[in-house]
Structure 1
Amino acid sequence: MSKRSATDRAADGQAFAKASGSGAKRDENEVNDIGEFEDAWEDEIESEEEVVDGEAGDNEDGMDVDELMPAIEESEELPPAPEAFIPGTHVLGKDEILEPDDSVYIMRHSMNVTWPCLSFDVLRDNLGDERQRYPATAYLVAGTQADQASKNELSVFKMSSLHRTQKDGDDSDSDEEDDDALDEDAILEFRSVPHHGGVNRIRAQPLPPSSPLPPASQPYFTATWADTGKVHIWDIRPLIESLDVPGYSWDKSRTNNPAFTINSHGRAEGFAMDWASSGNANPSSLRLLTGDVHSKIYLTTTTPSGFNALSQPFTSHSSSVEDLQWSPSEPTVFASCSADCSVQIWDVRSKGRRSVAGIEPAHESDVNVISWNRSTSYLLLSGGDEGGIKVWDLRNVQKKGTTVVPSPVASFKWHTAPITSIEWHPTEDSIFAASGADDQVTLWDLGVEPDDDEVGTPMNDAPDGARDVPPQLLFVHQGQKDVKEVHWHPQIPGAVLSTALDGFNIFKTISV
């Protein structure tokens, strides 16, 4: 991982006080927008000749203008900058609200939906990789948590007209003025199919990087963990086509019913789920892991004839399985985390379906989420119910039967509520995103090292007793209520999507 000092980060305009996306306290006693005093008398400016004549006239009748109206001295001081809101340090007053500082966003859009979608996944598209142009377009799949089971849906969303954020002081006459400089409302389109029961988690079939979508005749699978205890696998390809092809109609018998339902968990509800990356888009080589609240993990595979749910579970956890992640480098290895405070490592070839290594305990409370680094495959992230984030070097994890508990290579306690989602950047092996029940989405860079004079020093503008800001914390995005999941967009570098009770956010910041 590349290393950057906190001084380097500040030199890039990314110091926390500036790059915080948490917003600012609104000041009710503002001067005008450009920080100047207005002429309350609305007098016209006179020429130098008129001023000279006026002074002569005043002397003749004995009146001194300076005595009646003393000159106003112009102040060179600029109006105070908005105060960065530091969660855990500042508290909003009765009449104060958070306002985003758009100067630190390259793009920022909020979108409301009919029912909360507490889980979603980003879909790959054919619009190209490493996209930098605006307006941008993104596709995602999500499942609802409606007030009645019969009202729930699985939906494919198309976010388009994602424009660059307009900033104060932008030069509209710039030679670079084009469509990507507009600041318009984004467009949200969707196609839905009925889904019996709320969707606890949803994950789309992984597609290899830089590969086009499969042909229209080939399915694009998505799995949903329903609160009914069932795991359904759907072909969402027709929904994507209907968003892109005018007048497209699809066979509802193909989409309104699951392509396959996993009944291995009985009536046990669950949240943990992950597809293995097969390295190609062949639907006959897929593997899906699912974990339930009764501590059991099941594997479902595909064959040329269809899906095959294996009946023997993996059993080493003693409480609810909260998250699952396949190894990015070992096709038979996966990791799991649980409410039993542990992280377990498994090999599907092992006899007895027991874990081969573990971190016990990994956190002092439930381990809610994990993420396996796809670039540096020995690094694993974990997020706990106590709000802690830890980075593990799996080379230090001992095989089962040993009593040595490894120490994390990094540990952070910034969030003040349970970590709800965590994910490594798809290409930068030192950067990750996290979300918490404290309504924060945070971006981190392990490559940032503190300067010697900054270690343990709180922010200069924070009050006494303020929390230390970790130098690895690049950005704090706020404004959503009860954030549940966060994902990087794999084809729009630096773009982050999040979902909460009040809808979706998609943003890109100058910090990443």
Structure 2
Amino acid sequence: MSERGKRTSRHTYVHRAGFTVYGLAWAQQRDAFRLCLSSFIEGPRNKMQVVERDAQRDSLVVVAEADVAFPATKLLWAPMATGSSNLLAASSDFLRLYALADPPAPVTNSNGSFIGNTQQPQLRSLELRATLKPASARRQQQQQSKTSPPPLTAFDWNEADPSMCVTSSIDTTCTVWDVNRLEQKTQLIAHDKAVYDVAFSREPNSFASVGADGSVRMFDLRSLEHSTILYDTPPQLTPASTTTTTQTMENPPLLRISWNKLDSNYLATFQMDSKKVVILDVRVPSIPVTELYGHQAGVNAIAWAPHSSAHICTVADDSFALVWDIGNVAQKRTMSEPLLTYRAGEAINNLSWTPGIPEWIGVAVGDTIQALKV
């Protein structure tokens, strides 16, 4: 990446997947240069891939593949606290848990010599371990309903208590899961419209969500009957449609939310088709503490640095990945000068910044993933 136009030392790996990449997750463990990626293809013919760095070739190679029905709206490897480097979760119609199988043992002949080309890594398998279905979906199944369950838009894994996940859905609900027991703990109506994203705080009992109603809402697992509205997007006049000439004032949807990994006071979010990222302080609701203006097209994803509370990465349709230094955030109501920039060549769909190897960021660009050293 370059620093304000000045070129610095850089190392980049590029892997071409053969399909449009949307889902992207970097392994959490410190010794694993491993990413999982998934396709965005309409219809039940999607794929997941796991790639790792091959030290001998100094490149990313595919180590596992799996066919899946629907595009994954989010991928996450299990937090380091689980002690499992091979467990993976993906959200689509349901939340599914996968395990990356151990490498197959090499085949030898009667003389003890290896058979085959040992230079080519043998593919491992992604094994489906569990499908977590909410109670409403199970009732539909028992009633032999032909109605498809409302799809999941995202999920998050609780790093402080990795037995817990929370999912968000277009049916306005969030569902909290016990991953160890593979059962639903509770489901709540979180927003007035579809919920688009959800994220746990560093504090194990808090999570926040954003959705089509344009609000950021914070929940406490110990008192889920109440929520705190931290922010609402400013209302905008909606254009007249083909069916009505009436214009109304509505809050633009918020698409993604990301909680600071080291300071639970700060959240980041952005609204649909916006070039701006909003930084919020939970202690001062309603008013952003900082707004980041650096992109020339709609923002697609955000991720806080896993090792620094002052740094955040944003990616957008303008093909840029920007790393921001928002130290002394209260003194910078607006920012337009990123610390680092990287141009990918085409729109960046997603990104992942792992605590395992925090000097690397992964971005999804067209049919490729690119690993960037920052």
Question: What's the offset of the Cα at 1:250?
Answer: 10
Q: What is the CA–CA distance in structure 2 between the aligned matches of 1:489 and 1:270, rounded to whole Å? A: 23
- Within 5 Å, give how 1:406-421 maps onto structure 2: 406-421=286-301
> What root-mean-square deviation, in Å, do the aligned CA atoms of Structure 1 and Structure 2 show?
3.2
User: Do structure 1's residue 104 and structure 2's residue 92 form an aligned pair?
Assistant: no
Q: What is the CA–CA distance in structure 1 between the aligned matches of 2:360 and 2:2, rounded to whole Å? A: 17
Distance 1:158 1:362, change over 3 A: farther
> Mean alpha-carbon deviation: is it higher for 426-435 or for 108-117?
108-117
Partner residue, 2:228:
356
Distance 1:307 1:15, change over 3 A: closer
Question: What's the offset of the Cα at 1:141?
Answer: 1.7
- TM-score (normalised: structure 2): 0.78
User: Deviation string for 1:448-482 (max 9, x for gaps)?
Assistant: 89xxxxx9xxxxxxxxxxxx9823x1122122433
Distance 1:246 1:343, change over 3 A: farther
Give the secondary structure class of the aligned counterpart of 2:80: coil
1:433–1:443 CA contact under 8 A, matched in 2: yes
User: Do structure 1's residue 293 and structure 2's residue 170 form an aligned pair?
Assistant: yes
1:337–1:344 CA contact under 8 A, matched in 2: yes
Letter in 2 for 1:365: P
Question: What's the offset of the Cα at 1:411?
Answer: 0.7
2:51–2:60 CA contact under 8 A, matched in 1: no
Partner residue, 1:200:
73
Question: What's the offset of the Cα at 1:418?
Answer: 2.6
User: Deviation string for 1:237-263 (max 9, x for gaps)?
Assistant: x1xx328x65699997xx543423324
Q: How many residues align?
A: 332
Distance 1:416 1:14, change over 3 A: closer
1:120–1:141 CA contact under 8 A, matched in 2: yes
Q: What is the CA–CA distance in structure 2 between the aligned matches of 1:251 and 1:117, rounded to whole Å? A: 20
Letter in 1 for 2:254: V
Q: What is the CA–CA distance in structure 1 between the aligned matches of 2:288 and 2:42, rounded to whole Å? A: 41
Match of 1:158 among 52, 55, 71: 52
Partner residue, 2:88:
222
Q: What is the CA–CA distance in structure 1 between the aligned matches of 2:74 and 2:172, rounded to whole Å? A: 17
Q: What is the CA–CA distance in structure 1 between the aligned matches of 2:21 and 2:360, rounded to whole Å? A: 19
Q: What is the CA–CA distance in structure 2 between the aligned matches of 1:429 and 1:502, rounded to whole Å? A: 31
Identity over aligned pairs, percent: 17
Distance 1:117 1:265, change over 3 A: farther
Partner residue, 1:48:
none
- Whichever of the two has the greater Rg, that structure is 1
Partner residue, 2:215:
342
Structure (1 or 2) with the greater helix fraction: 1
1:289–1:299 CA contact under 8 A, matched in 2: yes
> Mean alpha-carbon deviation: is it higher for 111-120 or for 265-274?
265-274
Q: What is the CA–CA distance in structure 1 between the aligned matches of 2:52 and 2:166, rounded to whole Å? A: 27
User: Do structure 1's residue 503 and structure 2's residue 374 form an aligned pair?
Assistant: no
User: Do structure 1's residue 445 and structure 2's residue 316 form an aligned pair?
Assistant: no
Match of 2:154 among 272, 278, 286: 272
Q: What is the CA–CA distance in structure 2 between the aligned matches of 1:378 and 1:395, rounded to whole Å? A: 7
2:14–2:60 CA contact under 8 A, matched in 1: no
Give the secondary structure class of the aligned counterpart of 1:115: coil
Q: Which runs of 5+ in 1 are unaligned?
A: 1-12, 19-102, 128-136, 163-183, 280-284, 398-405, 450-454, 456-467
Question: What's the offset of the Cα at 1:205?
Answer: 1.6
Give the secondary structure class of the aligned counterpart of 2:103: helix
Match of 2:184 among 297, 306, 309: 309
